[in-house]
A and B are shown apart, each in its own frame.
Chain A
Amino acid sequence: MYNFDFEKPSTIADAVSAMAAEEAQALGGGQTLIPTLKQRLASPSKLVSLSGIAEMKGVCEADGGISVGGATTHATVAAEAGAYPALAALASNIGDPAVRNRGTIGGSLANNDPAACYPSAALASGATIETNSREIAADDYFQGMFTTALEEGEIITNVRFPIPEAASYQKFEQPASRFAMVGVFVAKYVDGVRVAVTGASEDGVFRWTEAEEALSGNFSADAVEGLSVSGDGMISDLHGSGDYRAHLVKVLTKRAVAAAS
């Protein structure tokens, strides 16, 4: 680790002004950032911890949806997002207890790891990412591996999820990291079905629109049977080829539809 200054503000406003310093960086649960610092792969001048900001923590229900503070841990979402069971189940299966008790939804969405779980939930739910300065629709937010619409210094303060009629997240774990080798989040709303896929694509989380169309007409696993996903542009690595991941997208989509509740 290189040296850095540390601040722990208790309001969003203070966090925003602390973030104004050059090379300042937000610190959520540190589950991604701290290992990066330890390996000397990042050298922020200042870390601004978001874990002391009460207004960014917790889950509440509002307007047919739920609202999750940007600094809410996975463990809290798992325990308190009962109104959106698929989301709570997703959170309960991220990493291990230590990771779930530190890692946050804001950190996960800001990082946008191509194998992370939350991005698929946000995209499949058509969630709204609220920051200190604006609201961003999930469809506009994810812009490729580790890339998002966030500006320098912008903080995710809250994430609003409309609650679907039925949903399920199916995760096939990469054997080593246990991140998603492929994860598929299917959410059925009154106005249609959304299917978001994480882990698979070189462009990060994406919507499988053919499946969405098929499922919007017929919400059953059979509806995707005839579809196929191409291995082109899929991640190919030690753990599996692009073709294998493409195959898993379909398998997991069917399973998610079958399991949706």
Chain B
Amino acid sequence: MPKDSGIGASSKRREDVRFLTGQGQYTDDINIHGQTYVHFVRSDVAHGKINSIDTSAAEAMPGVVRIFTGADFEGIGGLPCGWQVTDRHGEAMKEPAHPVLAQGKVRHVGDPIAAVIAESLEQARDAGEALNIDIEELPAVVDMKAALSEGSATVHDDLGDNLCYDWGFVEENKGAVDEAIKNAAHVTTLELVNNRLVANPMEPRVAVGDYNRANDESTLYTTSQNPHVIRLLMGAFVLGIPEHKLRVVAPDVGGGFGTKIFHYAEEAFCTFAARQINRPVKWTASRSEAFISDAHGRDHVTKIELALDADNNFTAVRTETLANMGAYLSTFAPSVPTWLHGTLMAGNYKTPLIYVNVKAVFTNTVPVDAYRGAGRPEATYQLERVIDKAARELGVDPIALRRQNFITEFPYATPVAVEYDTGNYVATMDKLEEIADISGFEARRKASEANGKLRGLGVNCYIEACGIAPSNLVGQLGARAGLYDAATVRVNATGSISVMVGAHSHGQGHETAFPQVVAEMLGIDESMIEIVHGDSSKIPFGMGTYGSRSIAVCGSAMVRATEKIINKAKKIASHLLEASEADIELKDGQFTVAGTDKSCAWGDVTLAAYVPHNYPLDNIEPGLEETAFYDPSNFTYPSGAYACEVEVDPDTGKVTVERFSAADDFGNIINPMIVTGQVHGGLAQGIGQALMENCAYDENGQLLSASYMDYAMPRASDVPFYAVDHSCQTPCTHNPLGVKGCGEAGAIGSPPSVVNAVVDALQSAGHNVTHIDMPVSPSRVWAAMNS
């Protein structure tokens, strides 16, 4: 029997009422009396020296309030990077200055040069056109290999070259890995590109800065996944505003996918400028602006080698990756190709020796940072592609080759520093074979062939490290922030509850799923519980939502706080029931005395807490409100097996996804419907990356795919009905809910199976095609078939 409330129930998403009826309150819906509008004048060249900016004509334009340039930010902090990577030689990564408005040079198309504040947006744009900006164009650094070559132009002249870091992991294993590859019975090598993506949340970024001169308080309303992180970074490192004078609010946010984690120049600008002009300053990105100012994702070029012994056991993996950082280091950029990528290179397999080398490169392109999955999709893609290639080279079944090499005993310490607590890769693969009807594939292939189409089947596994993250561990790895989370459970006098959480919901459904947990623990109705998030003045200092961490980390804090509530409530109940505390039981919202028929209701206890007439004031404080901070002791390791079936039109090269099946192990599940929805969305993004999405620059650093005319987003008709199953559950062993997180799985796990399927389809027709880079567009497939 499916439950109809509490943990495990598919409760309907309560937030959808306001979203679907147009009553969400997004940042752009916030308008403050006296508000001004800022228009950022952005570089239209990828690399150039700013000779001069003459603002005089523009200042005289109607409605102009004030114009800022980089000169106004001298002496003010630049945008900080939140993670410091140490390279193979023990040196810290190179960390360039990242001014709020360009100083001296522009470094990518979209780099903000000046900010025009006016009474209306159109006036600001008019004045922006009247600015006289003299930029001397410099040769653009675009291709990563060229960027590292001798004599390349430099993005940051003071750094000497374009290499941010040269990271080796695990460096001590390098010799042994080289040796194992040399002595292997078989080595499969694959060179591939993990294509650059634009996140494209439905809501573009927005920032509204406000300043209250009376109490010297600044407020920033912003489209963020983590308001406290922004408050910390912007307050402490950029503008020098102490926390008690700075409030950051992230109201309803229309999708993030990672790109709204980071602290952006526009946020700092609006907060700064509001104080300078003593009026609110609003910025709303246009979609065109989003393409050239939101941090992009992925953009790795990798060579991977997989060594096998004569029995097809994996003996070693060696990779070399170039990772594009773009023109500046975005907030968490350095961590993505290193700790979020290298640590996952074991995948689901007991490969004993692994060595990962990553060179991070500066180029004259938009900064690159975390995007749904962040590092883990890059790891999964290369590993699952090279395994597939190995299976074909060896003439063995790709599923059997994977099964043979599965990790089967847990906990399992990988050779790349992480310890998987639980998992059952055999079970998810069994489930996949069932839901994907793998055994029926040959018949479906025949049917496709009868219609003149080539059909292919691609399978892959994935593992991810989620629930980010143990603070002490990430601190050792270079994180400049803690990664715990926090929750305050405030029980009101009549028994209703407000839970203030550090996680931020921007599509994940926290407002529905989090109450299910508290309701389950207390035995009261979900509707009595409300989640408060997104406002630094209302919630405890939590770290926000990314890395599939919300329920695993913040949810755990909420459980701990609720446990404290239960403890205290039992004390109050024992007083009211005149019984020993040890005998009090809480069930279905009733406190009872074990072995008696004495009871009192949840509401009796909560009322007593706030109207403490009959109350043990000598022993306990009145009120019923508890906060807990939770710092996980390990990552969580969701895993699964995915299968994709494609049809390829041999005349045009067009690929259609006919079937897609996902068997995931997310540990325990709070709301199965929401989890299914998260997987659906992730799959659409993964299929989008595999077949369609391509953020491309030309050799001058101009963005070729700068709008939806050229950047192909997947649409409903591009994806099939999915078969999604998450009944394989090995609960996480180290968090109280046994949950692992499900937000990124779909995007991490799906690209390799799509490409594996296309290669399978082409080989079925005798084409000697072993790889096609993503996006596997019709023209690329056609070119591969005809090469």
Contact = CB atoms under 8 A, between A and B. Distances in A.
B712 A176 contact: yes
Nearest to A177: B709
Interface string B113-133: 000000000100100010000
B316 interface: no
A12 B579 CA distance: 92
A175 B718 CA distance: 10
Interface in A175-198: 175-177
B708 A238 contact: no
B778 interface: yes
B652 interface: yes
Contacts of B711: 176
Contacts of B692: 175-176
Contacts of B652: 172, 248, 251
B777 A239 contact: yes
A244 B652 CA distance: 9
Nearest to A172: B652
Contact of B694 (A1, A238, A248): A238
Contacts of A36: none
Contact of A175 (B288, B696, B777, B782): B777
B409 interface: no
B240 to A, nearest CB: 37
Contacts of B783: 241, 244
Main secondary structure of the interface of B (DSSP, over half): loop
B400 to A, nearest CB: 35
A248 B786 CA distance: 13
B604 to A, nearest CB: 57
B39 to A, nearest CB: 11
A207 interface: no
Given A238-B696, A240-B779, A241-B779, A176 B705 contact: yes
A238 B710 contact: yes
Which range holds the interface residue count of chain A?
10 to 19
Interface string A216-256: 00000000000000000000011111001001100100000
A1 B120 CA distance: 13
- For A176, A240, A241, A247, the residue with the greatest tally of chain B CB atoms inside 10 Å of its CB is A176
Contact of A176 (B125, B129, B708, B779): B708
A175 B651 contact: no
A1 B122 CA distance: 7
Contact of A238 (B288, B651, B653, B704): B704
A239 B288 contact: no
A176 B782 contact: no
A175 B122 contact: no
Interface string B620-658: 000000000000000000000000000000011110000
Contacts of B782: 240, 244, 247
A240 B778 contact: yes
Interface in A127-159: none
B209 to A, nearest CB: 25
Contacts of A238: 694, 696, 704-705, 710
Main secondary structure of the interface of A (DSSP, over half): loop
B651 A40 contact: no
Contacts of B653: 244
Contacts of B709: 176-177
Given A176-B711, A244-B779, A244-B783, A251 B122 contact: no
A175 B125 CA distance: 32
Nearest to A236: B779
A251 B782 CA distance: 12
Contacts of B710: 176-177, 238-239
A175 B708 CA distance: 10
B125 A40 contact: yes
Nearest to B649: A251
Interface in B736-787: 777-779, 782-783
A241 B651 CA distance: 15
B44 to A, nearest CB: 13
A92 to B, nearest CB: 15
A172 B654 CA distance: 9
Nearest to A39: B288
A175 B777 CA distance: 8
A241 B780 CA distance: 10
Interface string B209-233: 0000000000000000000000000
A177 B708 contact: yes
Contacts of A251: 651-652
Interface in B648-702: 651-654, 692, 694, 696
Nearest to A254: B651
- For A39, A172, A237, A239, the residue with the greatest tally of chain B CB atoms inside 10 Å of its CB is A239
B654 to A, nearest CB: 8
Nearest to B126: A2
Nearest to B691: A175
Contacts of A175: 692, 712, 777-778
- For A172, A244, A248, the residue with the greatest tally of chain B CB atoms inside 10 Å of its CB is A244
A176 B695 CA distance: 12
B273 to A, nearest CB: 23
Interface in A102-119: none
Interface in A1-45: 1, 39-40
Nearest to B122: A1
A40 B129 CA distance: 10
A15 B708 CA distance: 33
B14 to A, nearest CB: 30
A96 to B, nearest CB: 9
Contacts of A248: 652
A238 B778 CA distance: 12
Contacts of A244: 653, 778-779, 782-783
A1 B696 CA distance: 28
Nearest to A96: B715
Nearest to B713: A176
B247 to A, nearest CB: 34
Contacts of A239: 710, 777, 779
Contacts of B713: 176
A122 to B, nearest CB: 23
- For A172, A238, A251, the residue with the greatest tally of chain B CB atoms inside 10 Å of its CB is A238
A176 B696 CA distance: 13
Contacts of A40: 125, 129
Contacts of A39: 288
Nearest to B704: A238
Interface in B582-624: none
A45 to B, nearest CB: 16
Nearest to A1: B122
B52 to A, nearest CB: 24
A123 to B, nearest CB: 23
A247 B704 CA distance: 24
A251 B651 CA distance: 7
Contacts of A177: 708-710
A35 to B, nearest CB: 9
A237 B778 CA distance: 13
A179 B590 CA distance: 63
Contacts of A240: 777-779, 782
Interface of B: 122, 125, 129, 288, 651-654, 692, 694, 696, 704-705, 708-713, 777-779, 782-783
30 contacts: A1-B122, A172-B654, A172-B778, A175-B692, A175-B712, A175-B777, A176-B708, A176-B709, A176-B710, A176-B713, A177-B709, A177-B710, A237-B704, A238-B694, A238-B696, A238-B704, A238-B705, A238-B710, A239-B710, A239-B777, A239-B779, A240-B777, A240-B778, A240-B782, A241-B783, A244-B653, A244-B778, A244-B779, A244-B782, A251-B651
Which A-B residue pairs are the 8 nearest by beta carbons? A240-B779, A176-B712, A175-B712, A177-B709, A244-B779, A251-B651, A176-B710, A238-B704
Given A175-B778, A238-B694, A239-B779, 9 more contacts: A40-B125, A40-B129, A172-B778, A175-B712, A176-B709, A176-B712, A237-B704, A238-B696, A240-B777
